[in-house]
Amino acid sequence: MAHSITAHRLRRLLAPSTPALAMASHSPLSAKLAAQAGFPAIWASGFELSALYAVPDANILPVSTHLEMTRSIVETVGPNVPVIADLDTGGGNAVNVSYMVRKYKDAGCAAVVMEDKVFPKDSSLRVSARHVLVTVEEFQGKIGAAKAAAGEGEDGMLVVARTEALIAGLRLEEALNRAEAYTEAGADAILIHSKQKNPDEILDFCQRWSGKVPLVIVPTSYPQLSFQNVAELNKVGLIICGNHSIRAAVKAMRETFERIIKDNSIAGVEGDIASVKDVFELQGDAEMREIEKKYLR
């Protein structure tokens, strides 16, 4: 099955001495561009998809919207580029998690990430947002349900437990205790998230982490931490570039649109946007021409 190949690949990538990179994606096109640029894994981000639909990242979109987009992303990049799905809180309680994880497994994902906030969640990056955590016991149950649905052993999809303890303003001890408890419940990796403008609390967490399972970080708020510095910590298996796809798209589109209005012409932007030929190639036009040649009568 495709998901076991892709899960195997992701397991091999999660080496703390050489952390893997995942680029955020909100569409098959953005995922394809990230893979072509050399990113070995794709983050099917809830933030990016919410932004694509111009709604807040707060469980406003139906799960089916994220699931279908993730399925299309997986189909586009193929099993050699593992897709890590952002499940937010897992859609509710452990029962919801059980059903939801099966669907993401069938979609061919390599991993799911589930966070310990109450449903509905609010964006971790927003200041003064609603960040309320479920109890450790409840989240352990949700991890158990996710693991059972993800499949057995090395072939199973990875379940990444994400603690929002630091996002919720709780102490480092609480974050470490939760990460430990989630590992005991069977998590394959722990995503530790922070929105501090410097990497201090993440560095403290990494240094104190037992290392039983690899860590995952999303350094959006502390971009000054280099990937080389992360590798030297020898605790982080995966670095997620959490929203760089949609942010790049927003800026490029806005500049192009404003220029066309200002110039009252499309001529000025011609050299600064992708050519139609480039877009044809991204659409897989060559493959369609082959089909045409062979079968079209």
Interface contacts to ligand SPV, rule CB under 6 A: 24, 45-48, 57, 86, 123-125, 218, 220, 242-243
Q: Which is nearer to Mg ion, 202 or 218 (CB)?
A: 218
Judged by beta carbon distances under 5 to 8 A according to partner kind, the member of ligand SPV, Mg ion, none in contact with residue 243 is: ligand SPV
Tell me whether residue 93 is exposed, middle or buried, using C-beta atoms within 10 angstroms of its C-beta: 0 to 12, 13 to 18, 19 or more: middle
3-state secondary structure of 81: coil
Minimum distance from CB of 81 to ligand SPV (Å)? 17
Active-site residue 272, yes or no? no
Tell me whether residue 237 is exposed, middle or buried, using C-beta atoms within 10 angstroms of its C-beta: 0 to 12, 13 to 18, 19 or more: buried
Judged by beta carbon distances under 5 to 8 A according to partner kind, the member of Mg ion, ligand SPV, none in contact with residue 67 is: none
Minimum distance from CB of 260 to Mg ion (Å)? 33
Which position among 35, 41, 74, 86 is part of the footprint of Mg ion (CB under 5 A)?
Answer: 86
Minimum distance from CB of 58 to ligand SPV (Å)? 11
Which of the following is catalytic: 57, 86, 116, 122?
A: 57
Minimum distance from CB of 193 to ligand SPV (Å)? 6
> For the CA atoms of 76, 230, 202, 20, what is the dihedral angle to 10 degrees?
20
Asked if residue 66 lies in contact with residue 144, where contact means CB atoms within 8 angstroms, the answer is no
Identify the residue whose tokens are 């953005």.
30
The CA distance from 156 to 281, in Å, is 34
Judged by beta carbon distances under 5 to 8 A according to partner kind, the member of ligand SPV, Mg ion, none in contact with residue 25 is: none
Identify the residue whose tokens are 């490029």.
252
φ, ψ for residue 164 (rounded to 5)? -105, 20
Q: Which is nearer to ligand SPV, 183 or 221 (CB)?
A: 221
Q: Which is nearer to Mg ion, 46 or 237 (CB)?
A: 46
Minimum distance from CB of 111 to ligand SPV (Å)? 13
Judged by beta carbon distances under 5 to 8 A according to partner kind, the member of ligand SPV, Mg ion, none in contact with residue 242 is: ligand SPV
Residue type, 233: L
The CA distance from 253 to 274, in Å, is 12
46 binds Mg ion (CB under 5 A): yes
Q: Which is nearer to Mg ion, 47 or 222 (CB)?
A: 47
State CA 121 to chain mean position distance: 16
Longest dimension (CA), the chain: 69
Residues annotated as catalytic are: 57
Residues in contact with Mg ion by CB under 5 A are 46-47, 86
